[in-house]
């Protein structure tokens, strides 16, 4: 039998029902079949209708003959009529309430007295018509041109946190409407329902298409795609059953045995739902067992633009086809459900267990433990998966998301423990958050591997740190999304909790239940279940360790869990800014330390192009042009500098992108800031808004970004944004509003508060509360509307503005917070705003005998002396360096303050404070920005440095450092330079370093070049051209030597030989080489030159050529 309520006719014989739209019957109005059907018939073309006419008419004729026969039979048997009113409810909304009307539609020419008198006949008739009607469709959802219902409108927009920009994009909605709704409704759900009501009042033709367009205008693209899937695919929303009428006749099917195809079909809807939440793991597992083809796996993993539900539906269709073509369908089905039982997902396991029972199969032993998860726990976990899946990975749309799928793409660094670090260095990865790029001699680590169990434990304690805006929270949201989609490959967690430590309730929590941000009735039972298991199966992500007060870092529930004093079987991820993570890194329970680093120089260029050039095709062509020009440059052995990027494209967007890339090449100091995604977004925004001008410091960048945000705000209030020239010259009314925001930022930062309730913002004027100058965003927490600044660094800048512009005693406030970790970033902004001109600031830089020299192991019997005092020419190695806390004394914060303030006088004060003018950076962890600040301070120190030890320096860090050495006055010099490893150096980069005025009078150089692309002969020439060089120790390991013309190479070898021969300063040379390519001509030239030289007294050559 076919259940009428499970079918809807799109096109077919109903299109020939030409009765009036309504007809009175027993005081009621019946609804036209034609009207109901025509409203749903958009999916079939006129050509299809025409093709069905002949068959349809023939079947109508047969139907009439059948019913006439039944009527005659009734008269012969004298069956009395049982009434003349029947009602059948189906999903189309068609209600038949009058058999006379039905007769007039279906059987013209008949009469109510001699035709259908029995409901059996009526139902048979209806079902025959449904079968003949052509295309049918299961439980359709709303269509894209339908008017949204109130409940569906609020439900589909539930993930939308900030609804106001979206509302203003809806046709007919004005700012006044938004203000009224915001003031009268305090619940986000009620606000959206009120918005729907008002929208239909002002725009009766509203449709889902308008909703989708509005979401795209306010850049809520992910939510727009989700809703578009639901309203363009009639089956996309079928599983929710919230907005359609469902027959109960098939809701609980009884056991079906013996027919694998029937079994799979019966459970297909439930399976599609369950697989959706675990789609990618299920797909990988089915492919691994040979149950689905490779192209199916690849399509599911790579195709974009359709929902996971549709992909799950397609996967079920593929399984059905495989089943039908299988020689042993029962065995194939058993294989499918054995795979599903191993997915650590209760719903899948329950369905698979039921089906295996029907097939007479035994149940795997480990399924019982899966199904033992209480319903409350599974229900809460499923709810959180839906929540995490719908929240965007990048939390806010302002500053604008940059590039295409690039904002939030991170690179990860995993450090080895101290015993292996010297051999393996760091595990450096570049580029994308879910794709690692292979780097020689560095272990790869992907996002999935962040939670890989260690040999000692599956209960992990992972620390993730990095500078502000680098994407630590973005990484957390990526992991949450992966868990909700079932793509965490190493471990399956029953529940993942995201706990932002900036939330005061989380920070001061005393019980596990307090850590549940999403409060539901199941929370007490769920928390108790995990507590009894000591946290087994639970992953907690504590985001923002640096945002905790010092007291809470020492004593809080979060600290107890992180240190395994409580819930020792759960896994923990904790994120922190780098300056605050030192206490975490000293934990005995630490499983893994991951650093988040940002874009490389090449990726910055790609991001700029993808952001500014909206045309995807043109953007890709421009990226290819840039890459090709770089390749051509690298193939030129005599190329000293990166060429000026040019393009053949005439598009203004492409020209602007090219100009910014070239400007960043000149302004390498600003480029070094762009490795942070947040800062990169701001740079692009400010550059476009300010007519192609680049800021110099972070302070200038943030000041301009705040200005752009306020300009964006005043557009809605009929104020010309371009009349606002700077923050310092705002109109008096806006100055007052900004002052209120800055005071809130400062007072709350001083109290370590980063989220605020509406009660805590009561002191703000009503005008400011309207939208907080665009500097705040709202979110729902514990069912309460909360507020926070767009980013913590925004709050820190505004707090600095308050200190610098409105505090009477700025210097005293600076002093009060100088040792407060929470104010490190804020004080950098204060330095930029005040330039540290007041004489009281000198006390922080005039440090008596600041000892930053190399600490080496002492010789036996001479423990009071250092090894370097006995050996004038140390080897290029760090084995003799002592490991101590002295490396923590490097004043990174002071370097950062000096760079922001641009105060050259204080640079000289700090340089004079450093003992023996000797600076060792070996084993000191520096970000790219730190290298920029360091080079600025050295460059402006007007000091002769006796010894600079750079330690291990990677290519991008060396590039930033050399770019800052621009002083040509020769007042800043270095006598001895050490660098244990210059990783991935190039001819161009080495040339820039050695040509800097800092090294003009260098006397000793001890450097190791590890990997990189350079010509050994050219590198030696560059070192030997230093006019005061007496000692050269150079180690070259595994370089990539470019191909070159033999004549050119021969000429350079002759030049090297002559250079050594006539050198009257050089006294000692030590050359070490290890690599695959032989450098015999270079070595011969060195030996010939030394034998003819009169001053060189020592030559050591060590060549390990790998054949």
3-state helix, strand, coil in the chain (%, to 5): 50, 10, 40
**Cα 22–Cα 25–Cα 28 angle in degrees, nearest 5:** 75
704-754 pLDDT, tens digit each? 989 988 888 887 777 787 788 888 888 888 889 999 999 999 999 988 888
Pairing of the two strands 952-954 and 976-983: parallel
For helices 346-358 and 268-276, give the axis angle rounded to 10 degrees: 150
Domain-wise residue ranges, the chain: 4-137, 150-232, 260-372, 390-598, 604-672+685-696, 704-834, 868-1105
Q: What DSSP line would sit under 630-677, residue for residue?
A: HHHHHT-TT--SPPPP--S---HHHHHHHHHHHHHHH-HHHHGGGGSH
When pLDDT is cut at 50, 70 and 90, the band that residue 156 belongs to is confident
1048-1090 pLDDT, tens digit each? 888 999 999 999 999 999 999 999 999 888 788 999 999 999 9
Mean pLDDT of 665-677: 75
Continuous segment of H or E residues that includes residue 1008: strand 1004-1010
pLDDT computed for residue 413 by the predictor: 55
Exposed e or buried b per residue across 541-560, where buried means at least 16 C-beta atoms within 10 angstroms of its C-beta: bbbbbbbbbeebbeebbbbe
Q: Which is the CATH superfamily of the domain at 868-1105? A: Ribonuclease Inhibitor (3.80.10.10)
Burial label for 443, CB within 10 Å (0-12, 13-18, 19+), is middle
Lowest mean pLDDT among 390-394, 441-445, 452-456: 441-445
Q: Is the pLDDT of residue 1031 over 90?
A: yes
Query: What rounded mean pLDDT belongs to the chain?
Result: 75
**pTM of the full predicted structure?**
0.56
Q: Is the pLDDT of residue 814 over 60?
A: yes
Q: Which one of 20-24, 927-931, 949-953 scores highest in mean pLDDT?
A: 949-953
Mean pLDDT of 102-130: 44
Q: How many CB atoms lie within 10 A of CB 480?
A: 22
Lowest mean pLDDT among 91-105, 380-394, 418-432, 622-636: 418-432
Q: Which residue has the higher pLDDT, 900 or 258?
A: 900
Q: Which one of 77-86, 311-320, 664-673, 860-869 scores highest in mean pLDDT?
A: 311-320
Pairing of the two strands 592-597 and 411-415: antiparallel
pLDDT computed for residue 308 by the predictor: 79
When pLDDT is cut at 50, 70 and 90, the band that residue 638 belongs to is very low
When pLDDT is cut at 50, 70 and 90, the band that residue 2 belongs to is very low
CB 393, CB 399: distance < 8 Å:
no
Mean pLDDT of 197-202: 86
Q: Is the pLDDT of residue 376 over 70?
A: yes
985-1029 pLDDT, tens digit each? 888 888 888 888 888 889 999 999 988 888 899 999 999 999 999
Q: Is the pLDDT of residue 329 over 50?
A: yes
Mean pLDDT of 155-179: 86
Partners of 859 in the β-ladder: 862
pLDDT computed for residue 296 by the predictor: 87
CATH says 150-232 is which class? mainly alpha
- Interatomic CA distance for residues 752 and 746, integer angstroms: 10
Architecture of domain 390-598: 3-Layer(aba) Sandwich (3.40)
- Interatomic CA distance for residues 670 and 676, integer angstroms: 11
Q: Rg of the chain over CA atoms, in angstroms? A: 36
- Interatomic CA distance for residues 690 and 677, integer angstroms: 20
Determine what percent of the chain is predicted with pLDDT higher than 70: 73
pLDDT computed for residue 898 by the predictor: 94
Comparing C-alpha atoms, which of 996, 988, 952, 1004 is closest to residue 972? 996
pLDDT computed for residue 81 by the predictor: 43
When pLDDT is cut at 50, 70 and 90, the band that residue 1099 belongs to is very high
pLDDT computed for residue 829 by the predictor: 93
Q: Which one of 152-161, 617-626, 683-692, 902-911 scores highest in mean pLDDT?
A: 902-911
Mean pLDDT of 570-593: 86
Q: Is the pLDDT of residue 860 over 80?
A: no
Q: Which residue in this structure is represented by tokens 């090709």? A: 628
Partners of 757 in the β-ladder: 786
- Interatomic CA distance for residues 74 and 737, integer angstroms: 86
């Amino acid at each position: 039998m076919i259940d009428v309520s499970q079918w809807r006719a799109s096109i077919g014989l109903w299109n020939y029902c030409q009765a009036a739209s309504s007809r009175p019957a027993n005081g009621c109005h019946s609804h036209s079949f034609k009207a109901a059907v025509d409203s749903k018939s958009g999916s079939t073309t006129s050509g299809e209708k025409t093709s069905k006419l002949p068959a349809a008419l023939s079947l109508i004729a047969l139907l009439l003959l059948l019913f006439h026969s039944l009527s005659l039979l009734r008269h012969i048997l004298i069956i009395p009529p049982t009434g003349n009113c029947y009602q059948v409810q189906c999903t189309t909304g068609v209600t038949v309430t009058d058999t006379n009307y039905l007769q007039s539609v279906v059987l013209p020419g008949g009469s109510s007295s001699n035709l259908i008198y029995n409901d059996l006949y009526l139902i048979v008739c209806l079902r025959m018509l449904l079968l003949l009607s052509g295309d049918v469709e299961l439980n359709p959802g709303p269509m894209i041109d339908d008017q949204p219902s109130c409940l569906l409108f609020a439900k589909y927009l539930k993930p939308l946190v900030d609804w106001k920009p979206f509302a203003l994009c809806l046709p007919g909605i004005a700012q006044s409407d938004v203000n009224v709704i915001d003031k009268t409704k305090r619940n986000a759900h009620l606000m959206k329902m009120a918005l729907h009501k008002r929208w239909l009042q002002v725009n009766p033709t509203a449709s889902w298409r308008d909703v989708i367009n509005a979401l795209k205008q306010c850049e809520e693209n992910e939510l727009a795609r989700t809703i578009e899937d639901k309203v363009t695919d009639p089956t996309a929303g079928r599983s929710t059953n919230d907005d359609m009428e469902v027959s109960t006749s098939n809701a609980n099917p009884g056991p079906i045995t013996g027919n694998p195809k029937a079994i799979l079909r019966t459970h297909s809807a439930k399976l599609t739902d369950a697989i959706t939440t675990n789609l990618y793991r299920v797909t990988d597992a089915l492919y691994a067992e040979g149950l689905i083809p490779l192209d199916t796996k690849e399509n599911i993993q790579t195709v974009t633009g359709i929902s996971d539900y549709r992909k799950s539906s397609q996967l079920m269709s593929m399984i059905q086809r495989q089943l039908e073509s299988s020689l042993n369908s029962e065995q194939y089905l058993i294989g499918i459900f054995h795979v599903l039982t191993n997915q650590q997902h209760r719903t899948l396991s329950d369905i698979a267990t039921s089906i295996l029972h029907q097939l007479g199969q035994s149940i795997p032993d480990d399924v019982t433990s899966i199904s033992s998860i209480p319903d409350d726990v599974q229900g809460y976990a499923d709810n959180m998966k839906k929540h995490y899946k719908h929240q965007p990975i990048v939390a806010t749309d302002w500053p604008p998301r940059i590039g295409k799928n690039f904002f939030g793409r991170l690179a990860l660094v995993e450090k080895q423990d101290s015993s292996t670090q010297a051999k393996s260095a760091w595990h450096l990865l570049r580029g994308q958050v879910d794709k690692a790029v292979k780097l020689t001699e560095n272990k790869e680590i992907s996002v999935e591997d962040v939670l890989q169990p260690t040999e000692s434990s599956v209960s992990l304690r992972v620390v993730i740190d990095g500078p502000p805006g680098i994407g630590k929270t973005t990484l957390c949201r990526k992991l949450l999304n992966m868990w909700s989609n079932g793509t965490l490959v190493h471990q399956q967690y029953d529940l993942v909790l995201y706990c932002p430590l900036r939330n005061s309730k989380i920070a001061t929590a005393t019980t596990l239940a307090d850590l549940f941000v999403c409060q539901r009735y199941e929370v007490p039972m769920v928390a108790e279940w995990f507590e009894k298991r000591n946290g087994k199966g639970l992953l907690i992500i504590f985001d923002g360790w640096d945002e905790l007060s010092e007291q809470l870092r020492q004593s809080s529930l979060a600290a107890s869990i992180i240190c395994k004093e409580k819930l020792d079987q759960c896994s923990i991820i904790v994120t922190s800014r780098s300056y605050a993570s030192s206490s975490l890194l000293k934990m005995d329970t630490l499983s893994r330390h991951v650093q988040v680093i940002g874009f490389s120089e090449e990726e910055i260029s790609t991001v700029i192009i993808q952001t500014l050039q909206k045309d995807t095709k043109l953007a890709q062509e421009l990226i290819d042009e840039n890459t090709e020009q770089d390749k051509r440059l690298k193939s030129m052995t005599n190329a000293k500098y990166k060429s000026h990027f040019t393009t053949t494209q005439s598009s203004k967007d492409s020209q602007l992108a090219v100009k910014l890339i070239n400007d960043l090449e000149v302004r390498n100091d600003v480029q070094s800031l762009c490795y942070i995604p947040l800062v990169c977004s701001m740079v692009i925004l400010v550059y476009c808004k300010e007519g192609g001008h680049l800021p110099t410091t972070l302070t200038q960048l943030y000041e301009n970004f705040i200005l752009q945000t306020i300009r964006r705000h005043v557009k809605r209030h009929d104020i010309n944004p371009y009349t606002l020239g700077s923050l310092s010259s705002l109109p008096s009314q806006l100055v007052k509003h900004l002052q209120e925001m800055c005071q809130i930022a400062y007072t709350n930062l001083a109290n370590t508060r980063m989220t605020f309730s509406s009660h805590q913002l009561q002191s703000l004027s009503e005008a400011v509360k309207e939208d907080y100058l665009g500097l705040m965003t709202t979110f729902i927490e514990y069912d309460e509307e909360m507020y926070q600044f767009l980013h913590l660094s925004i709050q820190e800048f505004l707090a600095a503005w308050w200190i610098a512009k409105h505090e009477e005693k700025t210097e005293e406030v600076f002093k009060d917070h100088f040792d407060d970790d929470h104010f490190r970033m804020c004080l950098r902004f204060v330095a930029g705003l005040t330039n540290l001109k007041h004489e009281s600031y000198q006390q922080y830089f005039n440090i008596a005998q600041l000892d930053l020299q190399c600490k080496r192991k002492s010789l036996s019997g001479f423990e009071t002396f250092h090894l370097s005092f006995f050996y004038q020419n140390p080897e290029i190695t760090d084995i003799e360096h002592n490991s101590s806390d002295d490396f923590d004394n490097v004043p990174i914060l002071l370097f950062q303050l000096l760079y922001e303030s641009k105060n050259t006088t204080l640079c000289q004060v700090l340089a004079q404070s450093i003992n023996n003018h000797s600076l060792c950076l070996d084993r000191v962890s520096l970000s790219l920005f730190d290298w920029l600040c360091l080079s600025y301070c050295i460059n402006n120190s007007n000091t002769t440095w006796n010894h600079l030890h750079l330690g291990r320096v990677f290519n991008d860090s060396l590039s930033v450092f050399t770019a800052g050495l621009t002083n040509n006055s020769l007042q800043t010099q270095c006598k001895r330079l050490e660098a244990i490893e210059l990783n991935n150096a190039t001819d161009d980069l080495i040339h820039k370093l050695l040509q800097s005025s800092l090294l003009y009078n260098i006397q000793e150089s001890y450097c190791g070049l590890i990997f990189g692309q350079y010509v050994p002969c050219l590198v030696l020439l560059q070192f030997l051209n230093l006019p005061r060089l007496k000692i050269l120790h150079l180690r070259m390991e595994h370089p990539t030597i470019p191909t070159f013309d033999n004549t050119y190479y021969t000429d350079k070898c002759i030049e090297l030989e002559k250079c050594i021969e006539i050198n009257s300063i050089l006294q000692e040379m030590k050359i070490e080489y290890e690599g695959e390519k032989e450098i015999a001509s270079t070595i011969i030239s060195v030996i010939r030159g030394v034998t003819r030289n009169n001053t060189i007294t020592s030559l050591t050559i060590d060549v390990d050529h790998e054949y």
